[in-house]
């Protein structure tokens, strides 16, 4: 029984010393134990504290655990609390990234290619034009929320248009665009990936609305009689061979004065009269898909030059833009 009691007492004292060493390393420096050894009669005997030898390990004290070795915190991080030599970093403070704001400008070449129009039309005139606008963004980490406003020219050259599967002898129209354009407002969500201090890329998308201005003017081509309308039957896309048969216009394309003089009547093949098409939407939805390259200038903090490519309904685009983070 005596031996059992002694073993249990030693275990309790050793465990207590270990806990004290972890909780407060300053206390585990060889302080004397309050427990005494038992005599043969079971009476505790007085025990003289041993004087620790400099540089020697204190009997009964645990060696510092590997996890208790002080680890330097990341640069610029407020460690706050240190437990067992390990800095406790606030995860919320570490993840927090202050929002920054900026402005930008964009200039893009736009295109509605013939192959895209060919999905809906047998004859058309492709659009190559431009758009210019301003951007305002909020940046948090590598994520941007971008609000843009822009102007788009949507006026291709005048020419013949024919709906998919329609009869070219009766359904071909000479179409002109009188200042057709749009003003747009869009919101985009953009992510950034940095390759190094100088280059990176961006990618994302968004939605918006466009508001149209200007007119689309139509005049029926041909006579409607296949026997006398070979130009529209055989070459519906050629305005020199398929053109409105109005007074004074014997060779296409007709002049602006001749087309304007025909206005006011009821347009039909054989009796053409130019009119403004009322089917142009006043407001239309925008879908925006974008990617591109970022170029940063080390000597101009906050300034980035971007090269964008993507789709901004109803056209594809490519062009430069510049952004400045305030």
Q: State pLDDT tens for residues 122-138.
A: 999 999 999 999 999 99
Instruction: Judge whether residue 323 has pLDDT over 60.
Output: yes
- What per-residue confidence (pLDDT) applies to 272? 92
Confidence of residue 82 (pLDDT cuts 50, 70, 90): low
Instruction: Judge whether residue 95 has pLDDT over 80.
Output: no
In the chain, the percentage of residues whose pLDDT exceeds 70 is: 69
- What per-residue confidence (pLDDT) applies to 223? 72
Q: Compute the distance between CA of residue 10 and CA of residue 225 in angstroms, rounded to an integer.
A: 117
Q: Compute the distance between CA of residue 210 and CA of residue 229 in angstroms, rounded to an integer.
A: 39
pTM to 2 decimal places: 0.66
29 against 161, higher pLDDT = 161
Instruction: Judge whether residue 175 has pLDDT over 50.
Output: yes
Q: Compute the distance between CA of residue 103 and CA of residue 110 in angstroms, rounded to an integer.
A: 22
- What per-residue confidence (pLDDT) applies to 96? 56
Instruction: Judge whether residue 76 has pLDDT over 60.
Output: no
Tokens standing for 95?
């993840």
Q: Tell me how far CA of residue 320 lies from CA of 130, 133, 191, 271, 323, in angstroms.
A: 12, 11, 18, 48, 10
DSSP letters spanning 11-62 = HHHHHHHHHHHHH-GGGTTTPPPS--PBPTTSPBPP-PPPPPPTTSPPTTPP
- What per-residue confidence (pLDDT) applies to 231? 85
Tokens standing for 282?
């006043």
Helix, strand, coil proportions of the chain in percent (round to 5)?
15, 45, 40
Mean of the pLDDT values across residues 93-111? 84
Question: Judging by DSSP bridges, how do beta strands 127-140 and 100-112 pair with one another?
Answer: antiparallel
In the chain, the percentage of residues whose pLDDT exceeds 90 is: 59
Confidence of residue 326 (pLDDT cuts 50, 70, 90): confident
Mean of the pLDDT values across residues 58-69? 48
Average per-residue pLDDT for the chain: 79
Mean of the pLDDT values across residues 94-116? 87
List the single range of 31-45, 59-73, 211-225 with lowest mean pLDDT. 31-45
CB 95 within 8 A of CB 51: no
- What per-residue confidence (pLDDT) applies to 298? 82
Q: What is the pLDDT of residues 234-250, one digit of tens each?
A: 899 999 999 998 988 88
- What per-residue confidence (pLDDT) applies to 20? 42
Confidence of residue 161 (pLDDT cuts 50, 70, 90): very high
Instruction: Judge whether residue 114 has pLDDT over 50.
Output: yes
Domain boundaries, the chain: 101-189+205-289+302-325
Q: What is the pLDDT of residues 1-16, one digit of tens each?
A: 444 433 334 444 444 4
Task: Give kind and range of the element (H or E) at residue 135.
Answer: strand 127-140
Q: Tell me how far CA of residue 212 lies from CA of 7, 97, 183, 185, in angstroms.
A: 93, 40, 7, 12
Confidence of residue 211 (pLDDT cuts 50, 70, 90): very high
Give the contacts of 315 (CB within 8 A, at least 6 positions apart): 110, 111, 112, 127, 129, 152
Task: Give kind and range of the element (H or E) at residue 137.
Answer: strand 127-140
Tokens standing for 42?
């079971």
Q: What is the pLDDT of residues 262-296, one digit of tens each?
A: 999 999 888 899 999 999 999 999 999 999 999 99
Confidence of residue 208 (pLDDT cuts 50, 70, 90): very high
- What per-residue confidence (pLDDT) applies to 50? 52
- What per-residue confidence (pLDDT) applies to 300? 87
- What per-residue confidence (pLDDT) applies to 3? 41
């Amino acid at each position: 029984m005596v031996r059992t009691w002694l073993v249990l007492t030693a275990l309790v004292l050793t465990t207590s010393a270990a806990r004290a060493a972890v909780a407060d390393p300053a206390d585990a420096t060889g302080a004397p134990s309050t427990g005494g050894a038992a005599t043969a009669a079971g009476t505790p005997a007085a025990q003289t504290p041993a004087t620790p030898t400099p540089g020697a390990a204190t009997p009964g004290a645990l060696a510092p655990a590997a996890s208790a070795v002080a680890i330097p915190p990341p640069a610029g991080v407020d460690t706050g609390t240190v437990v067992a030599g390990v800095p406790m970093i606030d995860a919320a403070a570490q993840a927090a990234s202050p929002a920054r704001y900026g402005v930008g400008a964009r200039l893009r070449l736009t295109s509605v290619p013939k192959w895209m129009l060919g999905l809906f039309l047998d004859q058309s005139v492709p659009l190559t034009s431009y758009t210019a606008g301003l951007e305002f963004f909020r940046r948090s980490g590598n994520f941007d929320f971008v609000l843009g406003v822009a102007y788009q020219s949507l006026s291709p050259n005048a020419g013949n248009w024919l709906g998919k599967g329609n009869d070219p002898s009766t359904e071909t129209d000479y179409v002109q665009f009188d200042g057709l354009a749009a003003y747009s407002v869009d919101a985009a969500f953009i992510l950034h990936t940095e390759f190094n201090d100088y280059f990176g890329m961006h990618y994302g998308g968004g939605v918006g609305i466009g508001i149209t201005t200007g007119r689309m003017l139509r005049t029926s081509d041909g006579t409607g009689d296949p026997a006398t309308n070979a130009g529209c039957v055989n070459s519906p896309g050629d305005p020199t061979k398929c053109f409105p048969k109005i007074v004074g216009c014997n060779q296409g394309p007709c002049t602006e004065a001749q087309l304007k003089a025909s206005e006011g009547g009821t347009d039909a093949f054989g009796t053409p009269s130019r009119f403004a098409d009322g089917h142009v939407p006043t407001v239309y939805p925008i879908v925006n898909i974008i990617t591109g390259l970022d170029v940063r200038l080390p000597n101009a903090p906050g300034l980035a030059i971007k090269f964008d490519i993507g789709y901004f309904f109803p056209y594809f685009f490519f062009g430069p833009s510049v952004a400045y983070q305030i």
